[in-house]
Amino acid sequence: MAFNASSSDDSQTKATNMTQPVKEAPIQSRTPELRKDPVTNRWVVFSPARAKRPTDFKSKASGSHNIIECAFCIGHESECAPEIFRVPPKDPNWKLRVIENLYPAVSRSPECQFGQNSFAKHETGDWGLVIPGFGFHDVVIEAPLHSVRLSDLDPKAMGDVILAYKTRIEQTARHDSVKYVQVFKNHGASAGASMTHSHSQMLSLPIVPPSVSVRLDSMKEYFNRTGKCCLCEVRLKDFLINETTNFISIVPFAASFPFEIWIIPRYHASHLHEIDAGKAVEFGGLLKLMLRKIALQLNDPPFNFMFHTSPLMATDSELPYMHWYLQIVPQLTGVGGFELGTGCYINPVFPEDAAQVLRDVSNQVAD
């Protein structure tokens, strides 16, 4: 994998004695700019006039709550939907559990699969296509105690969460009707979380979602033009936050949101579920660091993260340009009519500035 930057040792050690969020950052005179991302194929308007200093971005949402226990807590297993598996297996002192979602968006009923009934696929007049809502909607309970957040886990436990995603993707992939699995986490009520106990979700779908198709078409276009995978060639200069042997964390060149972060394998990898145990622990350590950095610098904001992987039935000819990554989006700004109407986003913080701020937050926050 070729990287267009020098070593990040200085950026990793620059602020090793810092324990507080960055207070100041140089303000450069900038004019508005439009950037197009080669991965998402999305235009982003960077408008620094709409913001103050990059370091002034703080969440206004309160992360506090008074709940001590809930249905996701250890000892309350009977209050949940059926369990799929736990880690360790059959252990009453479990570390994580994967369960069915009590209020699923799709149905796991076999009758909903293609070919199981006469309504497996049909058009509604000339207007649109209707297919049954078959799929799997699962919840990954990341810790047994209510007070423990994902970022509180050590890298090994973080890696176990990643391996739970891997295992569940492999299980649902056995169903021919499942085309794509979306893994995501909503943290905080304004980010869509209905439960405060740390958890993430997985939706196994009978379609490849349109945004996934757009992303893959954009990556294919770059590959056809250059002969290279766009994420293997990602620009690191000015955008790098941290790096490990096998992963990098960056603020993307055309970040749609302030302080958006991507964690990308440095090696070419098309499918999340192909990660091994050692790399899962390494990835978990870097994810922990990124979550701690945004919590410290941005006043513990609500956030979403989404794994962007490849369709399960991707062909050998498609795999060279398909490269998975994790997107983390702190909830700092809203989405309005312009974004909804155009598909473009307005970001008041240039990615280079956001990356600098996050580099300057001490790596010791993950200890």
Which residue is listed with tokens 């620094």?
Answer: 48
Annotate 79-114 with DSSP letters as a single string: GSSPEEEEESTT-SS-SEEEEE-SS-SSB--GGGST
The values of phi and psi at residue 84, to 5°, are -95, -50
How many beta carbons lie within 10 A of that of residue 263, not counting itself? 22
199 a catalytic residue: yes
The two tokens of residue 177 are 């009707």
Q: Which residues of 12-21 are buried (b: 16+ CB within 10 A; e: fewer)?
A: beebeebeeb
Residue (of 85, 103, 102) closest to 94 by Cα position: 85
- What residue type is 26 in one-letter code? P
Tell me which of 137, 199, 271, 308 is the catalytic residue.
199
Residue (of 228, 289, 234) closest to 264 by Cα position: 234
Question: Could you give the 3-state DSSP secondary structure of residue 341?
Answer: helix
CA-based torsion, 332, 338, 340, 345: positive or negative: negative
Cβ atoms of 259 and 358 closer than 8 Å: yes
- What residue type is 109 in one-letter code? S
Question: Could you give the 3-state DSSP secondary structure of residue 227?
Answer: coil
Cα–Cα dist 145/34, whole Å? 45
Cα–Cα dist 365/46, whole Å? 29
Residue (of 23, 53, 8) closest to 350 by Cα position: 53
- What residue type is 105 in one-letter code? A
The two tokens of residue 202 are 């997985």
The two tokens of residue 64 are 């506090």
Cβ atoms of 105 and 203 closer than 8 Å: yes
Q: Supply the residues annotated as catalytic.
A: 199
